[in-house]
Amino acid sequence: MKYKNNKPARIKLAHINDTHSYFEPTSLQFTLNIEGQTLTPYVSAGGFARIATRKKQLLQLAQENDQAFLLLHAGDCFQGTLYFSLFKGEANATMLNALSIDAMALGNHELDMGNLPVAQFAKQIEFPLLAGNWDLSNEDINKTCRLSDNDLVKAFNSDAKTASWIIKYAQNEPIAIFSLALDKMADISNPDIDTPFVNAIDTARATVSAIRAQGINKIILLSHMGYDADLDMAERVDGIGLIVGGHSHRLQGDFSNLGLKADDPYGIKINGTHVVQSGYHSLSMGHCDIEFDASGEVVEFHGKNELLLGRRVFIDASMSETGESDNYKLARSYIDQHENVWVCKKDQQVQQLLMDKYTCQVRALQRHVIATANHSLRHIRVPDEIGPSQLAPLVAESFAYMMTQQGFEVEFAIHNAGGVRTSLNAGNISVADIAGKLLPFAVPIGVYELKGKDIAATLEGAIDNALNNGVEGTGDGSYPYAYNLSFDYDFESAKGSRIKNLSIFRPSNGWQPIDPERFYKGTSSAYTMKGKEGYEAICRMKGEGVVTTESMADCFIALLKQHPETINRGLNTTSQVGWHKGC
């Protein structure tokens, strides 16, 4: 269809991003300097029920002002809380449907567990999922749940070399919306190999040209490329009126007088394009009034990000708004008058939906004890004078346990220390403790075959990276913990020969030296299997390995449910790390 006779258009656009399954409000602490004193109150911030309330208020304002209204999500709704750990994409589909969003961008965390969870999510949503540089044209026809068959998934058009786009109308004038994600998605997430991402800049240029060729000159890019990439896009690609971004968790605006970080002004303008982003974890919502002229240029723009807060303010553990503290009154008045704060009630319909479908189950699992620790279990990334992590080897063991249950003949497991997030106190351990605290990120587990010499190189590279030994490392989270492997690491040996006495444990004959040329079957997280942060040698695996849909938390929960005594073994007896001089 060819559009003619372009006219001005006025819209009110609201946006959220990187909500990461934070459906409930979050406790947020402010630092306020008022009348010569410093107050540090806590407030209840955000949540989907407050987003719903504010959306309805903005929609009403738009209708009163003869504006079209849009609510967009700039990606990364998956991951982050127990709601995702337990319900995967189903809870997000339900809650985002309840907000009646107009479109969502695909984020990198949507693909942490491969394409299948996204495909299942896409079958449950009632809004378009925009993924304009995701090429689904060669998707495996044998997949039981395909993305390319879903009309709501707006992916890369491989014939035209453009993004697919949707059209919304303001005063009968068409507005095109398309989306782009990081073109290096495979480096930080786990898209299936048959569905690659293509260059974002090239796709943007071709898409803007194709949209304009249809007579549409009002264009919005819904981006999950990151803030710096959005600014670069605005500089390098002409013809985009607004970029609504995500991925970087940037809360544009000055919130410094609340004790939060100040950022760029809301809606910073570059090369005629306004760029907006609205924080993270459902704490806030951005909204702006935009006027396009007949040529498609944005001639009027104003808006802001707002923290969405409840009425309650806690000055300390015992005092809320019911108290008579002068400090409470000062804090309450100061917060209420802040230009970037909006105090609102929770939408009861959305709140009740969350409670009835999911929160009650989350609370039950928080009470569901699956094991009891007789003593505290310490997690540390790099072993110190006290010793290594007591938890990371058990987590690695759980990978081997789960993969064996699924029919893979696993001989060893390796897990990076950064994949375990906390220690555990003595006492009862619930499903929520594991999925919500210890292993909160739903990263899938995979299996692979690796030669003995490459197992050694993988361990050495990961430790070198963690200790900055001859390399500029990315952090100590790469330090490897293993199951069924024993080795020494010599800090001062030449590169390539720092792993000594590498052995593997076999139930039939105990510890045996690793054969450098033999293939062994291992298991690790999909993140580790990508060879990042010193793990490059793991990419020498035979073929591509297999990535399952079981997460780290799934594995550890399964092990403790079947063998709760495991938690009291402390350091796994079939995982040993030795230290030589220099360490």
Rounded CA-CA distance 402/557 in Å is 10
Q: What pLDDT is stored for residue 228 in this prediction?
A: 95
Q: By percentage, how much of the chain surpasses pLDDT 70?
A: 96
Task: At 491, list the tokens.
Answer: 């800090």
**pLDDT of 320 higher than 50:** no
DSSP states of 241-305: SEEEE-SS--B-S--GGGTSPP-SPTTEEETTEEEEEB-STTSEEEEEEEEE-TTS-EEEEEEEE
Cβ atoms of 453 and 121 within 8 Å: the answer is no
Task: At 341, list the tokens.
Answer: 């704060």
Q: What pLDDT is stored for residue 316 in this prediction?
A: 66
**pLDDT of 581 higher than 90:** no
Task: At 359, list the tokens.
Answer: 């929160």
Cβ atoms of 416 and 528 within 8 Å: the answer is yes
Cβ atoms of 372 and 427 within 8 Å: the answer is yes
Mean pLDDT of 217-228: 97
Q: Which H/E stretch holds residue 177?
A: strand 173-181
Mean pLDDT of the chain: 93
pLDDT in tens, 131-157: 999 999 999 999 999 999 999 999 999
By CB atoms closer than 10 A (0-12, 13-18, 19+), residue 61 is middle
Q: Which H/E stretch holds residue 110?
A: none
Mean pLDDT of 112-120: 93
**pLDDT of 500 higher than 50:** yes
Task: At 571, list the tokens.
Answer: 């350091």
Task: At 433, list the tokens.
Answer: 């403790």
**pLDDT of 161 higher than 60:** yes
Mean pLDDT of 276-299: 97
Q: What pLDDT is stored for residue 570 in this prediction?
A: 54
**pLDDT of 391 higher than 70:** yes
**pLDDT of 292 higher than 80:** yes
What does the buried/exposed string (b/e) look like for 137-160 if buried means 16 or more CB atoms within 10 Å of the residue's CB? eebeeebeebbbebebbbbbbeee
pLDDT in tens, 546-578: 999 899 999 999 999 999 999 997 544 444 444
**pLDDT of 99 higher than 90:** yes
The lowest-confidence range among 1-10, 51-60, 274-283, 479-488 is 1-10
Question: What SS3 class is residue 490?
Answer: coil
CA distances from 339 to 299, 328, 329, 335 (A): 24, 19, 18, 9
pLDDT in tens, 356-383: 999 998 998 888 899 999 999 999 999 9
CA distances from 46 to 23, 76, 80, 281, 309 (A): 8, 16, 15, 8, 6
Q: By percentage, how much of the chain surpasses pLDDT 90?
A: 84
Name residue 211's amino acid.
I
Q: What pLDDT is stored for residue 371 in this prediction?
A: 96
Name the residue among 176, 157, 156 with its Cα closest to residue 167. 176
Question: What SS3 class is residue 413?
Answer: strand
Rounded CA-CA distance 495/345 in Å is 60
Rounded CA-CA distance 256/453 in Å is 53
Q: What pLDDT is stored for residue 287 in this prediction?
A: 98
**pLDDT of 437 higher than 90:** no
Mean pLDDT of 97-106: 98
**pLDDT of 324 higher than 70:** no
Sheet bearing 412-416, strands edge to edge: 480-483, 412-416, 519-525, 444-451, 546-551
Rounded CA-CA distance 11/102 in Å is 13
List, in sequence order, every residue forming a beta bridge with 304; answer none if it has no partner: 287
Task: At 193, list the tokens.
Answer: 């190999």
List, in sequence order, every residue forming a beta bridge with 287; answer none if it has no partner: 14, 304
- Confidence label for 325 from pLDDT (cuts 50, 70 and 90): confident
**pLDDT of 315 higher than 90:** no
Name the residue among 199, 122, 116 with its Cα closest to residue 153. 122
Place of tokens 């990978």: 399
3-state secondary structure 308-323: EEEEEEECECCECCCC
| Other beta carbons within 10 Å of 175 | 25
Name residue 403's amino acid.
M
**pLDDT of 197 higher than 50:** yes
Rounded CA-CA distance 400/395 in Å is 9
